[in-house]
Amino acid sequence: MSPFLNSDNILRSTSSIEYHPLLPFLPESTKILFLGSFPPQRKRWCMDFFYPNFTNDHWRIMGLIFFNDKNYFMEAATKRFNLDLIVGFLNEKGIGYYDTAEAVKRLKDNASDKFLEVVEYTDINALLEKILDCRVVVTTGEKATENIVNQLSLSEMPTVGHSIPLRDNILLYRLPSSSRAYPLSLEQKAEAYRKMFEKAGII
């Protein structure tokens, strides 16, 4: 089994409640933590990792920013992402990944955040205690941002492309969703992500 899968949670999932199927990915010196909402259904995965849907542009955005090549992390012939390449890159840069919900109910048979009902939030504070070098938490989409704001009772929600204080010198930075349903071009999304990485000192 993949070292990134949470086998206990996969077994816990029922037809009505899904528990998070992945373990948090937290490099030793995580400086930036990406938090989405919740993974899509397994039938939409092309790899056992975060942003596993081949039609989602997250890894194309990362390729464009860091390697000037949207296809850098892709294996086009098999319509998969190169997991080894991704993991090596993230460990080198200190970029971690998880999601803002531990358990959800899907109200419709699709990957839309609009139809996710959160049953259990991720304990964000406990997660941050494991990555003391982290200075930026990034949400990728409205649902993920709402989940953090609701769980931590923040007084405001950052607008897209901007940040607010989260806690202990950590910023909460909101970025546009990498889903193709979000109405921005790949290049426009990459520019928003690039600005965040520049402010965080990663590039």
Asked whether 96 and 27 are in contact (CB, 8 A), the reply is yes
Q: How many domains does the chain have?
A: 1
Burial level of 14, CB count in 10 A (0-12/13-18/19+)?
exposed
Whether 14 shows a pLDDT value over 90: the answer reads: no
Nearest to 132 by CA among 158, 94, 92, 102: 94
Q: Is position 2 within any domain? A: no
Whether 110 shows a pLDDT value over 60: the answer reads: no
**Could you read off the pLDDT of 159-181 as tens digits, one per residue?**
999 999 998 899 999 999 999 98
Backbone angles phi, psi at 147, to 5 degrees: -60, -45
Q: Is position 91 within any domain? A: yes
**Could you read off the pLDDT of 125-153 as tens digits, one per residue?**
999 999 999 999 999 989 899 999 988 98
Q: Is position 1 within any domain? A: no
Q: What is the CATH number of the domain that holds 122?
A: 3.40.470.10
Q: Is position 126 within any domain? A: yes
* Percentage of the chain exceeding pLDDT 70: 96
Q: Is position 15 within any domain? A: yes
**Could you read off the pLDDT of 17-41 as tens digits, one per residue?**
999 999 999 998 999 999 999 999 8
**pLDDT grade for 113, boundaries at 50, 70 and 90:** low
Q: Is position 179 within any domain? A: yes
Query: pTM of the entire structure?
Result: 0.94
For residue 75, give its domain range.
7-199
**Could you read off the pLDDT of 48-67 as tens digits, one per residue?**
999 999 999 999 999 999 99
The radius of gyration computed from the CA coordinates of the chain, to the nearest angstrom, equals 16
| Amino acid 16: pLDDT | 87
Q: Is position 89 within any domain? A: yes
Distance CA 119, CA 106 (A): 10
